[in-house]
Structure 1
């Protein structure tokens, strides 16, 4: 327990008068009960209040038999022998579809000195809203730690917890297109609009396949195809083309959510509007269990495309000059709704280009980049490790698995299991995150003011200094400065930290190791290496924060140990979010690490501190 938690615990000691009241409080706590101040603790297996076998059987009956007893596939692995489950898991360890289909696993295997992937005791494999209601009521009535998982991509371990009951929504994955959708209660207030309704367990590849590949329209979602739709919307959500379409949560028209009282509520701008606002970026697993979402869809641009390349500088001075050139070029030619994704600055004096575009042809993209690339080619101190080139394809094929298999094999990777849906593919570059063990991860929104002519040199110096410690990526699609006015307005009406509206990029600095699920054969995580990486990553981020003091962070891509998390993730929106939490979950049934209201609980979510 760190010093902060010790102080929290000390402040939470109840100063009760009278031996009788003290004895009553102790007795209630022993069974995970409640006191005058509400729920004080949750129960674990072996505690007097843990549900009996008969009670678990009744829950199983209530959910149509879909109550699973969970065990990690690595539970019975040893250094010398492996079970069939262990062998299967090891075979598919870099397949995020397999990991997502295994309720005892999470897409991240852990974080050094923070958490490790450990399954819940039981899971309700929900197939309907009624299943979710039954699970929520059971957890509330029996004072259980409740966890929600759809995609399971949480870096911070919020989609698993030992000694808990899991609501697993993977099988709720229906996608329905609408030509003219109006939210409930909004008839005559809002005009009908094209939309898509997605159940909570669907991944973005499911949504893109229906909306774009087969429907010829666009829905703003995530860049990684295996991320869950519901989780991304609740955390704000960015995709490759957010610079034009805004955050994913800003496209939300309506949601159904099961709140802590076991009621399935409709939330939209006309019904439960504060709950609706909180769902849009307030963080997954904090306010309830989202069971379905309806998102507006957009007219599809003619083309989507990309520019990739890598440039090496021969000296530190040349690299600094290259950074200055690309920063200036970004401000003058790329700082607009057409361009997204990443500029990568490496410690060995390399610049990586991993940019995407929308609404341009390949020739227009090449013409845009020509002045910058001509400048590089004219100087002998630079060389191309990967010759830059622009490619474009009809936007309707951007997530078309069969199109990529035919025309660009290897760019997208299949779910390699027998009988897998043909549309279940992911970008090859995202495969590295499957099962990874995080050493450190930090993010910061960089204000667009750093792109002003009089401040660019400060940004250049900070980026160069940062790379002396660690690589840094600028995700320019995750800052909305220079986005269209309608995208800014829609994103402003979400719970996400308002800093995103004035940021030109989200800086990400991170390090990781190989998968390290508990029980896996092998040496396990290299914690000494992790500590080394974390120290250097911290120094690198410190260099950026010198020119962006007080920079907020993106809740889904942030530091597990973020000291000022409520301000960093939500800024001035946090008090309003906390009020929504008090209204719909006054006892704190829904707990996630650094989620809204989590300051009232111990780090493991089992003991109320205040």
Structure 2
């Protein structure tokens, strides 16, 4: 059985009650441009148009860059669910329309319309999706950005699915509360972030975003608005907390547990290393010290950025230490920093300690566009860092390409919450670090070169990462490779069977189908024909 793809259904006579709120995306270079836009696309869009490989909407590997940044963006949808897009099929992807009005009745009508016409539905909140799940070919794209409600009642916060993290932190500070949320300012807590598990610098203190979700309002495939919590539709509540973004319906709002705000120190250290061997020694040293900051439940990020022309690298560490002053944070980081500077070939570039309200410290600006990047990741067990720190260093050395990031947001409360019944991958409960590798390319790269980089993680980087993650290890589904051949195990582990049954119950016709999402194995790479 295939999807509806003909243009006739978008005419007023067929669209009925939603005809006035449908918008067809501009057709890329075929649409008129201002002189500024033309200049912007002169270099960028030719690459997007001709070399669109992969399934990213965070990056210009897609024809549709959907992060709203105020800069001109290409709007021609890139549809690939799991593999490369074919040049000859580009022109049939402009049938996607999107719903932007916030009224609930129109949202329900749109979902019912899609169900009646067997249309695939894609859901976009802010578009921060490394797997391309917030866009799709020949589909109805529902944009939830205008669900902007936010309210605080006691220890709870209810947010619309279009509310940015920056707004949450600003309003949280005003209300004396802090929510577990992401670092990037324009990620929406009520979108794909919480559905994928939702990591945060506060996760060691308060656990994952999914663990703090108390209730959802969601429009499911039937068009019905459901209130979902531990007592109402508990199976769907299970799925929405970690069962993957875009697979369950259109989230209208989420209620989270929030906490009294507090002061914290954000610590940032930049070190320069002379070559890969020195960088590997520094990575080993970091692995040896990674538990030093557990006493204050610190969440921190580590990044190694290599200069490919000289083999020198920049090592960056950014730690968030709750209820800790700047001087206390400096003291806690001193053993690692002093040992690092004792290594030959390591020098300190800068260090900074900023103390203040945690709401001010958490989010980071995310105003970049047009990067050519694909990612892959694994959750690395805490036991690896305790027992084999030197192996961690060697793996980092093998992975040094352009950039790797270690996201130290597990352990602590994440591990303690292993008893919670949710779809969060069990690997989160034993992990210490979410390790990400990046593959990048220049705009001048050939199609063959991009294709090689596109598959670099599965062919080269993953076997290396498995030296510390182990075989069949889990990954954080929001920051991972959509080409995972066994995504059921990698993203969902032993939860997949239960999730598949829940999917069949609430979405029997797979209206909401996304790349590497629950049920996607039943569809072709375009999500248009059953296999």
Match of 1:588 among 510, 518, 521: 510
- RMSD, aligned α-carbons: 3.2
- What is the 5 A alignment of 1:147-226? 147-179=122-154, 194-212=155-173, 214-226=174-186
User: Residue 373 of structure 1 is aligned with which of 337, 343, 346?
Assistant: 337
Cα offset, 1:350, TM superposition: 3.0
Name the residue aligned to 1:143: 118
Structure 2: distance between partners of 1:99 and 1:326: 38
Please, which runs of 5 or more residues in structure 2 have no aligned partner?
A: 45-59
Deviation per residue, 1:530-573 (Å, 9 max, x gap): 24534654423321212322221111111121011011001011
Equivalent position of 2:372 in the other structure = 437
The residue aligned with 1:241 is 202
Q: What CA distance in whole angstroms lies between the structure 2 residues aligned with 1:548 and 1:582?
A: 32
Displacement after TM superposition at 1:100 (Å): 9.9
Does 1:363 find its partner at 2:363?
A: no
Q: Structure 2 vs 1, CA of residues 349 and 238 (structure 1 numbering), >3 Å: closer, same or farther? A: same
Counterpart among 220, 224, 240 of residue 279 in structure 1: 240
Decide whether the 8 Å contact of 2:130 with 2:479 is kept in 1.
yes
Relative to structure 1, is the Cα distance of residues 481 and 109 closer, same or farther in structure 2, using a 3 angstrom cutoff?
Answer: same
Deviation at 1:178, TM superposition (A): 1.2
Superposed CA deviations along residues 181-206 of structure 1, whole A, max 9, x for unmatched, are: xxxxxxxxxxxxx1111112222112
Aligned partner of 2:352 among 381, 389, 395: 389
Runs of at least 4 residues of structure 1 off by over 6 A?
Answer: 91-95, 100-103, 105-112
Q: Which runs of 5+ in 1 are unaligned?
A: 1-39, 180-193, 400-425, 515-522
Matched, 1:551 2:487: no
Report how far residue 504 of structure 1 moved.
Answer: 0.5
For 1:535 and 1:597, how far apart are their aligned partners in 2?
23
2 CA distance for matches of 1:276 and 1:379?
50
- Whether the 8 Å contact between 1:108 and 1:435 is mirrored in structure 2 is no
Say if 2:37 is the partner of 1:66.
Answer: no
Residue aligned with 2:183, SS: coil
Match of 1:75 in 2: 30
Inter-partner Cα distance in structure 2 for 1:499 and 1:587? 30
1:113/1:312 CA distance change after superposition, 3 Å: same
Distance of aligned partners of 1:345 and 1:572 in 2 relative to their CA distance in 1, 3 Å threshold: same
Give the C-alpha shift of residue 88 in structure 1.
9.9
What displacement does 1:238 show?
Answer: 1.1
1:460 and 2:393 aligned: yes
Instruction: Tell me, yes or no, if the aligned pair for 2:483 and 2:516 is still in contact at 8 Å.
Output: no
Matched, 1:350 2:313: yes
Alignment coverage as a number of residue pairs: 499
Give TM-score scaled by structure 2 length. Answer: 0.85
CA shift in 2, pair 1:463/1:69, >3 Å = closer
CA separation of 1:110/1:87 partners in 2, compared to 1, >3 Å: closer, same or farther? farther
Aligned counterparts of 1:149 and 1:496: Cα–Cα separation in 2:
21
Aligned residue in 2 for 1:411: none
- Which structure is larger by alpha-carbon Rg, 1 or 2? 1
Please name the residue that 1:398 is paired with: 361
Q: CA deviation at 1:85?
A: 9.1
Q: Deviations over 1:35-93 (max 9, x none)?
A: xxxxx22111257xx45441225422xxxx3222321454336xxxx447945986999
Alpha carbons of 1:139 and 1:101: their partners in 2 closer, same or farther (altered >3 Å)? farther
User: Take 1:436 and 1:231, find their aligned partners in 2: how far apart are those partners?
Assistant: 21
8 Å contact from structure 2 (residues 265, 353) kept in 1: no
1:586 CA drift (Å)? 1.1
> Does residue 1:127 correspond to 2:127, yes or no?
no
Aligned position for 1:476 = 408
1:496 to 2:424 alignment: yes
In the TM superposition, residue 221 of structure 1 has moved relative to its aligned partner by 1.3
- Contact persistence 2:126–2:145 (CA under 8 A): yes
2:192 aligns with 231
Asked if structure 2 preserves the Cα contact closer than 8 Å seen for 1:498 and 1:571, the reply is yes
SS in 1 for 2:513: coil
Q: How does 1:220-369 map to 2 (within 5 A)?
A: 220-229=180-189, 230-313=191-274, 317-331=277-291, 333-335=292-294, 338-347=297-306, 348-350=311-313, 352-357=315-320, 358-369=322-333
State the 1:277 CA deviation.
1.1
User: Hey, what does 1:41 align to over in structure 2?
Assistant: 2
